[in-house]
Structure 1
Amino acid sequence: MLLELAIADAYGAGFEYADEMIVNNDLSRYVEHPRFRLIPGSYTDDTQMSIAIAEVIVAQAPWTPQVLADSFVRAFKRDEREGYSRNFYHFLLEIQNGEEFLTKINPDSDKSGGAMRAAPIGIYPTPEKVIEAATIQAAITHNTPDGINAAVAAALMSHYFIYRLGEKRKLGEFLQSYVSGEWAKPWEGKVKSKGWMSVRAAITAVMRNDSMSELLQDCIAFTGDVDTVAAIALAAGSCSEEITQDIPDHLVTGLENGTYGRDYLINLDKQLMSLANKNIS
């Protein structure tokens, strides 16, 4: 899950709000963004914050805003990187711990930050537990109805496939039975910054593609905030028996592999997925 999320994030980062780059959407390589200072093959905030969430789950630490905020800050401080929004990046630079994070953050966003990091939460054993956990983590930064609903839907996407709750084509209907939103309605056109937009586009792409390579290209083809769309979609798609796992090898080997890169993600994935059939509290 995390490896595929990171590959999608890193690949999509070259196309984010850069419609002119769409001619390069052939999966042949990680492309350099025309404006952002990102080394091709490097992941962004979507992956780093998903790592922070996954580490709390694997540690089976208390699921509290304080613990989660500490994890967000720790993940950033040990591996500072571009890719966050400018304001949030500078916010993370200035604070030192989770307590300061919670004291100083403006939690009223309805953008995609709560959803982009929610996929690992799908590992919890019931939809109700997933909803509770996704809501708590989203409210730290995105305590709005749209921000929370987007995060809950993104978490339930991976849960649906991990626990084999139904056919891929029924994903949207499943989500609508648990969280408010038009999740079964196909998304069309450019994806802007609102969280529900990224999640709806990701759902649409997952439902209509049968391989990970097609899924990744389809996510990028929407244009707009495509790294987030791709990260959400491929995290879920990696857990589906109906989707062929055919991400090109050169995108796997081309993903960054520093201390918290490819090998770290593979190992964290193993720990995360080992919890799938356990009753974690």
Structure 2
Amino acid sequence: MLVELAIGDAYGAGFEYSPDQMIREQNDLRGYVQHPRHDIRPGCYTDDTQMSMAIAEAFVSGEPWTRENLAHRFVTAFKCDEREGYARRFYAFLQSIQDGDEFLAKIRPNSDKSGAAMRAAPIGTFSNVSTVIDRCRLQAAITHDTPDGINAAIATSLMSHYFIHKVGPKLELPDFITEFVPGSWTVPWQGKVGAQGLMSVYAALTAIMAHDSLSAILKTCIDFTGDVDTVATIALAAASCSDEVVQDLPSVLIDTLENDEYGLGYLRKLDAQLMNNVE
């Protein structure tokens, strides 16, 4: 899950809010691309992956699932490896604080954007749906304590849960989400994806339902245009856990994913721990 999630994030980072023409010309999965405005090096992941790793680390540690422990994980992940990709204000906020207690004391959790959803996929490893929902709601409310922010996160975690625990066929995934999260989950997303979290989740689900291979899903995520790195992060995290989706990401995207201290090797190790601890 985490390796594919990071590949979707890193590949999408080159196309996030990029011109439509660039996407039409360069979205061919032949390698990572340089974003026309950002300085993120091709093959490097962003905050989507870093915060997902923090959630995964909290899960495999077995520590109590509390606001305090999760906030500590968020801050520690950032402080150990400060990187581009965060929203400007949130990046400055993380730089200005020292620990999880200060995070909780100063954060303003009134956003409906995608931050809580982009990191929610590892929560799907919990075996009980009510546990997935409760623990996802808790983590989402730390930063995105709004109905849409929380619902986007829950829908993301339910997508990965559905495939990890083999709840049913891919065809029935939208109906499964509809049982627990209000929304038009059976209606395909169309058009550009904005900053709101629900937009990214709708688009990710649409890509998953339209294709049966990771490569096609990834390409479709980018073709939406807009906040495509988050769409690809969410879609690949879930689809990588499905027996009905061919795991055919091009080797170049795996081989050239960053591999420093918290890169490919670390992601593979954490991935193995995550799946070995599936409840």
* Whole-Å separation in 1 of the counterparts to 2:62 and 2:194: 35
* Whole-Å separation in 1 of the counterparts to 2:210 and 2:167: 18
TM-superposed CA distance for 1:27, in Å, is 0.3
* Whole-Å separation in 2 of the counterparts to 1:54 and 1:157: 16
Write out per-residue CA displacement over residues 143-179 of structure 1, whole angstroms, 9 at most, x where no aligned residue: 0000000000000000000011111111111000011
Letter in 2 for 1:6: A
Q: Which residue of 2 aligns with 1:5?
A: 5
Give 1:114's match in structure 2, choosing from 113, 116, 119.
Answer: 116
* Whole-Å separation in 2 of the counterparts to 1:69 and 1:82: 19
1:223 matched to 2:225? The reply is yes
Give 2:70's match in structure 1, choosing from 68, 71, 75.
Answer: 68
1:156 matched to 2:158? The reply is yes
Equivalent residue of 1:245, what SS? coil
Letter in 2 for 1:21: M
TM-score, normalising length from structure 2? 0.98
1:254 matched to 2:256? The reply is yes
* Stretches (4+) displaced over 3 A: none
Equivalent residue of 1:200, what SS? helix
Q: Which runs of 5+ in 2 are unaligned?
A: none
Q: Which runs of 5+ in 1 are unaligned?
A: none
* Whole-Å separation in 2 of the counterparts to 1:63 and 1:170: 30
* Whole-Å separation in 1 of the counterparts to 2:186 and 2:272: 31
Write out per-residue CA displacement over residues 101-149 of structure 1, whole angstroms, 9 at most, x where no aligned residue: 0011110000000000000000001111100010000000000000000
* Whole-Å separation in 2 of the counterparts to 1:267 and 1:184: 35
* Whole-Å separation in 2 of the counterparts to 1:163 and 1:125: 7
Q: Which residue of 1 aligns with 2:98?
A: 96
TM-score, normalising length from structure 1? 0.98
1:55 matched to 2:57? The reply is yes
Write out per-residue CA displacement over residues 206-257 of structure 1, whole angstroms, 9 at most, x where no aligned residue: 0111000000000000000000000000000000000000001110010000
Q: Which residue of 2 aligns with 1:178?
A: 180
Give 2:273's match in structure 1, choosing from 271, 274, 277.
Answer: 271
Equivalent residue of 2:143, what SS? coil
TM-superposed CA distance for 1:21, in Å, is 2.2
Equivalent residue of 1:140, what SS? helix
Identical aligned residues as a percent: 61
* Whole-Å separation in 2 of the counterparts to 1:105 and 1:89: 12
Equivalent residue of 1:62, what SS? coil
* Whole-Å separation in 2 of the counterparts to 1:197 and 1:14: 19
Letter in 2 for 1:51: M
Q: Which residue of 1 aligns with 2:236?
A: 234
Q: Which residue of 1 aligns with 2:82?
A: 80
